[in-house]
Amino acid sequence: MELSLKTSESFDEAMRLYIPMVYAIVLERLGNAADAEDVTQEVFIRYYKADKTFESEEHRRFFLIRVAVNCSNSFAKSSWHRHRSLCDPDDIIGLLGDNADETAEENERKRAVLEAVMKLPEKYRTAVHLFYYEDLSIAEIAEITGEKENTVKSHLSRAREKLKRLLKDEEF
């Protein structure tokens, strides 16, 4: 099955399905809601202009994740971004956090983990988000970020160690 960008239904469907995912990736990376909205818009403009035909829904998802990471990286390197303040972690936690089907205790645990993830350095935070929240493999993360697989593994391993230290006071 091929998915074409030529039809407005395909673009509308992609926006409906993937805006929350793209926004979460960008917000986690940039830490500012207004900037995340701008970069998310840029991701979908690039998606539209790419004029690609995708082999599957997974291929389209992977493309959007890669564009989101690349656009976030470009924006993060700008002097404008370096002089901006970060958003409240509750913005990101609210986006990824509470689930009505889970108990209050489970939601509190998830909130504590997300708060700890937000305290990680950016390179670890990106790897953790893509691996645990977007269910990407190490190979896919390496391809998206342009890093070697062993680097991604190291980032995940170091992030887990940092998270253990950050969460050791929490009762799970």
13-46 tens-digit pLDDT: 888 999 999 999 998 888 778 889 999 999 999 9
Asked if 42 and 71 touch (Cβ cutoff 8 Å), the reply is yes
Contact by Cβ (8 Å): 87, 33: yes
- The boundaries of every CATH 1.10.10.10 domain in the chain are 89-167
CATH 1.10.1740.10 maps onto the chain at 3-82
At 152 the pLDDT is 94
Quote the pLDDT of residue 161.
94
SS (H, E, C) the chain: CCEECCCHHHHHHHHHHHHHHHHHHHHHHHCCHHHHHHHHHHHHHHHHHHCCEECCHHHHHHHHHHHHHHHHHHHHHCHHHHCCCCCCHHHHHHHHCCCCCCCHHHHHHHHHHHHHHHCCCHHHHHHHHHHHHCCCCHHHHHHHHCCCHHHHHHHHHHHHHHHHHHHCCCCC
CA distance linking residue 170 with residue 172, whole number of Å: 6
Integer CA distances (angstroms), 7 to 30, 48, 51, 155, in order = 31, 10, 11, 40
Q: Which residues of the chain have pLDDT under 70?
A: 1-9, 79-102, 169-172
CATH number of 89-167: 1.10.10.10
Question: Tell me: the pLDDT tens digits for 97-112?
Answer: 555 566 777 777 777 8
**What's the pTM value of the predicted model, to 2 decimals?**
0.67
Please tell me the class of the 3-82 domain. mainly alpha
